[in-house]
Structure 1
Amino acid sequence: MSALRTIHDVPVLLCPEEGDPIRGEADATGLIGEAGYQGARWVALPAGRLDEEFFRLRTGVAGGIAQKFAQYRMGLAVLGDIARHTAASEALRDFVRECNRGRQLWFVDGLPELEERLRG
């Protein structure tokens, strides 16, 4: 079950490791709705909850999900090690690097790194 936690004055919906996979925009919209209902401004989602297609940029899944979160002005932090995915795709490495420069979608190792990013 997801839990709302305030980190440096930012309400964050912490999603559990277990749960339905996020496969596309419809699943993202459901997650955004849950987060908004609870008053969150960010969603912290374990990388394992994302469908494998998310990490294949040519499918458009990552872009669609990122667009949904941007449209609803909700931040998304993907928590966990995605090294096996980035090792296999230069395009994904570039996407992750660009996202981490912004303020909408971050890829972080875990909650401590998210806490640090939300501090500043």
Structure 2
Amino acid sequence: MNIHIDQRENSKVAVISSEEIIIQNLNDALDLMANVRYNGYDKMLLRKEQITEDFFELKTRLAGEILQKYTNYEMRIAIVGDFSGYNSKSLNDFIYECNQGSRVFFKSTEAGALDALHRIHT
């Protein structure tokens, strides 16, 4: 796993790159957040492929648990990928609601995710 920083003025986003799944469970998500925080950042960008598919099955509650912890610790996150393949109304509603806020974003492009994160002033 590598972390590079995308900076615009005073806003910095930790962009996580890896060919492997980084988040398999809540502890993995907390470890990643701690790593990003330790390096001094409170915004991160992940690719959908770096997160276990269980995250996108809302009945597992993994997404809710992870995103609640990230919210509690004031970590903003954008997840980049193609979410159109999910035929779950509840997941689509969840993604829509997240995108209306200022803490969690689901975006189809890295550029869109970075724009959303950089607009948030922490």
Judge same fold: TM > 0.5, yes or no: yes
Contact 1:23 1:61 in 2 (8 A): no
Task: Kindly state the Cα deviation for residue 116 of structure 1 after the two structures are TM-superposed.
Answer: 2.5
Extract unaligned runs of 5+ from structure 2: none
Contact 1:108 1:114 in 2 (8 A): yes
How do residues 47-86 of structure 1 correspond to structure 2 at under 5 angstroms? Answer: 47-85=48-86
How far apart, in 1, do the equivalents of 2:95 and 2:35 lie? 25
Task: Kindly state the Cα deviation for residue 70 of structure 1 after the two structures are TM-superposed.
Answer: 0.7
Normalised by the size of structure 1, how large is the TM-score? Answer: 0.90
Contact 1:54 1:60 in 2 (8 A): yes
Letter in 1 for 2:19: E
Asked if residue 28 in structure 1 is aligned to residue 64 in structure 2, the reply is: no
How far apart, in 2, do the equivalents of 1:20 and 1:108 lie? 18
Q: Which runs of 4+ in 1 moved over 4 A?
A: none
Give the equivalent residue in structure 2 for 1:119. 119
User: Percent same amino acid at aligned positions?
Assistant: 29
Comparing 30-39 with 92-101, greater Cα deviation is found at 30-39
Report the count of equivalent residues.
118
Give the equivalent residue in structure 2 for 1:101. 100
Extract unaligned runs of 5+ from structure 1: none
RMSD across aligned positions (CA):
1.5
- Select the structure that is richer in helix: 1
